Chains A and B, each alone.
Chain A
Amino acid sequence: MILVRIAAALLVLACGGCEREARRFDDSPPPARPVTMSELEPGPRTMASTMRNPYEGNAWAISQGKRLFSQFNCVGCHGQGGGAIGPPLMDDEWIYGSEPENVFATIAQGRPNGMPAFGGKLNSQQIWQLVGYVQSLSGLIRKDVAPGRDDHMQRKAQEQSTDKMEPASSGIPASAEGRQ
């Protein structure tokens, strides 16, 4: 009986492991729904954001996001997450929201003061992969899914060993007001 239980437990673990690594090459997940950034809106109140990243439990997709992050030159403005010309992505300040939908909209539609819109140039699969990686920079996704190594020398901690930083603020932080 105990053997059966152990076998069942191993089977459950193995299935979880498969899901974590599943590579869905010709996947085209739906894009995020439009997000409202203000409480002022016409008509009845819309529901709060509930959309999840289709890749939030998929380590392979998040590592692809990490690859795209440097290939598409996100590092040019955001550094390796520490920020430079653009805001840092490894802290708890989220100007335009920390939910997957918010980050998707930021990448797809761009934001004022410099963030370009990548909507027509990246497909929804790539954007969702990037969303997962951006969230991993401040520990907002599971640690067993976050990337655990770099292909080059890097001084910051691995995404995998980044502790979760509860999103503290939304809106433009005081430190960035001067950039308006």
Chain B
Amino acid sequence: MILSLLQGWVGAHSALEPAGPQAGRIHALWQFMWVVSALVFLAVVGALLYAALHRRAAGQSAVNPDGVRSATRWVSIATGVSIAILIAFLGVNFVTARPLTSAPGDALQISVTGYQWWWSVQYPSATPSDQVTTANEIHVPVGRPVVMTLSSRDVIHSFWPANLVGKRDLIPGNKSSIWFQADTPGVYRGQCAEFCGHQHAKMGFLVVADPPAQFEAWLREQRDSAPPPPPGSATRGQEVFLAASCVMCHTIRGTPAGSRVGPDLTHLASRRTLAAATLENTRANLAAWISDPQRIKPGTLMPPADLTPADLAALLDYLETLR
């Protein structure tokens, strides 16, 4: 019952709700260790209570005739059992971790780059125009192994989609990798698991596991550049985007904006969250984030945009067309 309470409280980001074979193995290992540790705890508490409630018989002593304090029979047995349990843990751990390291050959390749405090996600392709760049939302097909190639542009981060696999560090100047497979369609939250500065806690991401056909459709849509905005407010919004500070850091494919400092916004409106899974992607949240990002994530590298209300409304109209 405690376990189910705990699961209810942890919610979507939880190693206790495995959604793939890797997480399932880790979960089984965790359960095994939890049950054994609980039994050991009960045994220790029981022994302690027994010792506290039963006086030693008169004349009986823990000190042997030579004056040396030696282990009694029960202490020797308990030591032996402890060693056996620890060796068993080592063995089970080895058997669990071994298949987690090597990915099958036909895996889907995705690169993830950590930035303070967001994730850049790239789906590489031999054809440069087919490469897809997005941010903070990783779509994967259900039932197919996925290899994440991880790196960082500033400090050490750690990639942790708890429902799918364990943690792996993102190290500047180095490439590490981790693989997983999602067996159940769904949206799983992930989180940076290595303290990386002020907004470490708000450096989340989503892994969206879609059926393969739906994933392919998503990937095709993401390859497209942003279409020209419809005339009117959205066109004015694009002018605002290109004239204001936005253009210094963000890319929108299909426009002159091509900076790689911040997240790629080509398909911003198709994402579920803003600011690295901090806010739900709604017009109001987007307006708040653009106007005063330091209030939502103090220390974030995005500066506030000093826009008139009319310009901000036009900009929002434009950003909403980036589906």
Q: Do A and B bind each other?
A: yes
Does B247 lie within 8 Å of A121, measured CB to CB? yes
Contact among A26, A71, A72, A120 with B243 in the assembled complex (CB-CB below 8 Å): A120
Binds B, one of A47-55, A78-86, A94-102, A122-130: A122-130
Q: How far is the CA of A25 from the CA of B304 in the complex (A)?
A: 10
**B residues contacting the other copy or chain, number (CB 8 A):** 19
**Shortest Cβ distance from residue B271 to the other chain A in the assembled complex, whole angstroms:** 23
How far apart are the CA atoms of A180 and B277 in the complex, in Å? 51
Is the pair A151, B172 in contact by a Cβ cutoff of 8 Å? yes
Contact with B248, one of A23, A26, A121, A151 (Cβ below 8 angstroms): A121
B122 at the interface (CB under 8 A from A): no
- Name the residue among B247, B294, B300 with the largest chain A CB count within 10 angstroms: B294
CA distance A71 to B292 in the complex (A): 21
SS class, residues of chain A in contact with chain B = loop
Query: Are B295's CB and A26's CB within 8 A?
Result: yes
Once the chains bind, are B306 and A123 in contact (CB under 8 Å)? Answer: yes
Interface residues of B: mostly helix, strand, loop or mixed? loop
Q: Is the C-beta of B249 less than 8 angstroms from some C-beta in chain A?
A: yes
Q: Which residues of B contact A123 (CB under 8 A)?
A: 245, 303-304, 306
Determine the distance from Cα of A121 to Cα of B259 in the docked complex, in whole angstroms.
13
B244 in the interface (beta carbon within 8 A): yes
The number of residues on chain A lying at the interface, defined by a beta carbon within 8 Å of a beta carbon of chain B, is 12
Q: Are B303 and A126 in contact (CB under 8 A)?
A: yes
Query: Would B303 and A71 count as touching, CB distance under 8 A?
Result: no
In the bound complex, do residue B248 and residue A122 qualify as a contact, i.e. CB atoms below 8 Å apart?
Answer: yes
Decide if B39 is an interface residue (CB 8 Å cutoff): no
Report yes or no: B295 in contact with A120, Cβ–Cβ below 8 A.
no
- The smallest C-beta distance from A127 to any residue of chain B, in angstroms, reads 11
B288 at the interface (CB under 8 A from A): no
Any chain A CB within 8 A of the CB of B87? no
Residue B298 CB within 8 A of the other chain = yes
Nearest-neighbor residue (CB-CB) of B300 within chain A: A25
Q: How far is the CB of A21 from chain B (nearest CB, A)?
A: 13
List residues of B (157-199) whose CB comes within 8 Å of A's CBs: 172
Nearest A residue to B246, CB-CB: A121
* The residue from A23, A120, A125, A151 contacting B303, defined by CB atoms under 8 A apart: A125
**Which among A25, A120, A122, A126 is the interface contact of B294 at CB below 8 angstroms?**
A25
Query: How many angstroms between the C-alpha atoms of A159 and B238 in the bound complex?
Result: 39
B248, A72: Cβ atoms closer than 8 Å: yes
Nearest Cβ in chain A — how far from B256, in angstroms? 13
List of A residues within 8 angstroms of B259 by Cβ: 71
Which B residues are closer than 8 A to A by beta carbons?
154, 172, 243-245, 247-249, 259, 261, 292, 294-295, 298-300, 303-304, 306
